[in-house]
Amino acid sequence: MHLYVHVPFCARRCSYCDFAIAVRREVPSRAFVDAVLAEWRMWQDDPALEHVTSLGTVYFGGGTPSKLEPDSIGRLLDGLRALRTVDAGAEVTLEANPEDVSPTAVASWRAAGVNRVSLGVQSFQPAVLAWMHRTHDPSAVHRAVATLRDGGIRDLSIDLIFAVPDTLQRDWAFDLDAAIALAPEHLSVYGLTVEPGTPLGRWTARAEVEPAPDDRYAAEFLLAHQRLTAAGFEHYEVSNYGRAGFRARHNSAYWRRVPFIGLGPSAHSGFGRRRRWNVSAWAAYERAAMAGRPVVEAEELLDDAQVRLEELYLGLRTVEGLPAALLPSPAAWREAGWAELRGDRVALTAEGWLRLDALVRSAA
């Protein structure tokens, strides 16, 4: 069983972000820990946990978990461990923004058991960071990485975003090289998408911003593939690269459809065909959790067609791919350069991952 904790607080909303967040100048760390542990206690009677003795990974995501008072992570992990064992070798990840990384914070996180940090970098170019409404500048990234290394973090992941609008004149190769120079163990590389309800969505609707054209999106995706694989990273999932032995174990569990529990506002949980998700507003979540009432907003049972779609979509994201027998036209995909046949399995190439949605639709 794998556990995700959604920490919804952020200093401000990034221009592209449609996550369930709560913008707060002062983060209610203590109240958050109390509410999440109250939800965790309610989970203990759930049949999904009946045969679960221990947790293989714990992931603090958000939002911005690094905005919590540093000792909150220790309180959360102690509270989780009080009711279920966290495996001795568990991967414990914390998402952090560069400006929150201080020697004191890193020492608290390490003492609590955090052994992996995912740093929200996105770009090393000030104009791009400002346009994204990020709250750090490039120098903060270098300070943060040095502080994390000094504090004993041996598994560091860096997030980058590509395909920003032409008008920003972003040098994508420069950002890739700057990330490689920091020697992380892992990188997550995401294409910018325009979501309604975000500042970027509004700018685009008003024609103030033109999204990156498809050909540049493809060129930047492929440049990342070339540069990072040449630098020794394995491109093991459509958006993720790792050095040998440093794949993200928590996210890999999602892609293998292993059961997972999500705690916190808007967090999702899934076991087999069952999916459920929590209320997303922090205040409503806190009220329900502290009153001992369910924090679940809704749940669903996937039908056969939905399960097949999920298997296709998750399986084809990774280098392990899927058994050829599950796909209607693997030979045609291989001839087009979109897939490789490995034994009885089919794995998409980087060219294939560019067409992931269309290929999944055609195979469903």
Residues that bind ligand SF4 (CB under 6 A): 10, 13-14, 17, 19, 21, 62-64, 97, 120
* Residue bearing tokens 């369930």: 20
Sign of the Cα pseudo-torsion (138, 143, 147, 149, in order): positive
User: Least distance in Å: CB of 144 to ligand SF4?
Assistant: 14
Nearer to ligand SF4, 97 or 157 (CB): 97
Nearer to ligand SF4, 195 or 335 (CB): 195
User: Least distance in Å: CB of 99 to ligand SF4?
Assistant: 11
User: Least distance in Å: CB of 7 to ligand SF4?
Assistant: 9
Nearer to ligand SF4, 14 or 80 (CB): 14
Pairing of strands 54-62, 22-23: unpaired
Residues ≥6 apart with Cβ < 8 Å to 41: 83
User: Least distance in Å: CB of 333 to ligand SF4?
Assistant: 33
Tell me how crowded residue 210 is: count the other CB atoms within 10 A of its CB.
11
Specify the 3-state DSSP secondary structure of 323: strand
User: Least distance in Å: CB of 277 to ligand SF4?
Assistant: 17
Nearer to ligand SF4, 13 or 275 (CB): 13
Nearer to ligand SF4, 96 or 327 (CB): 96
User: Least distance in Å: CB of 302 to ligand SF4?
Assistant: 27
Alpha carbons within 13 angstroms on the beta-carbon side of residue 309 total 9
Nearest to 114 by CA among 184, 64, 58, 30: 58
Residues ≥6 apart with Cβ < 8 Å to 54: 1, 84, 85, 86, 87
Q: What one-character DSSP code corresponds to residue 185?
A: S
User: Least distance in Å: CB of 106 to ligand SF4?
Assistant: 19
Specify the 3-state DSSP secondary structure of 85: strand
The C-alpha angle 101, 223, 236, rounded to 5 degrees, equals 70
CA 317 to chain centre: 14
Nearer to ligand SF4, 22 or 363 (CB): 22
Burial 219-237 (b: 16+ CB within 10 A, else e): ebbeebbebbeebebbbbb
Nearer to ligand SF4, 6 or 170 (CB): 6
Nearer to ligand SF4, 17 or 36 (CB): 17
User: Least distance in Å: CB of 214 to ligand SF4?
Assistant: 23
Q: What token pair was written down for 162?
A: 């590509």
Burial class (CB in 10 A: 0-12, 13-18, 19+), 243: middle
User: Least distance in Å: CB of 160 to ligand SF4?
Assistant: 13
Nearer to ligand SF4, 21 or 322 (CB): 21
Distance CA 212, CA 268 (A): 31
Nearest to 200 by CA among 133, 256, 266: 133
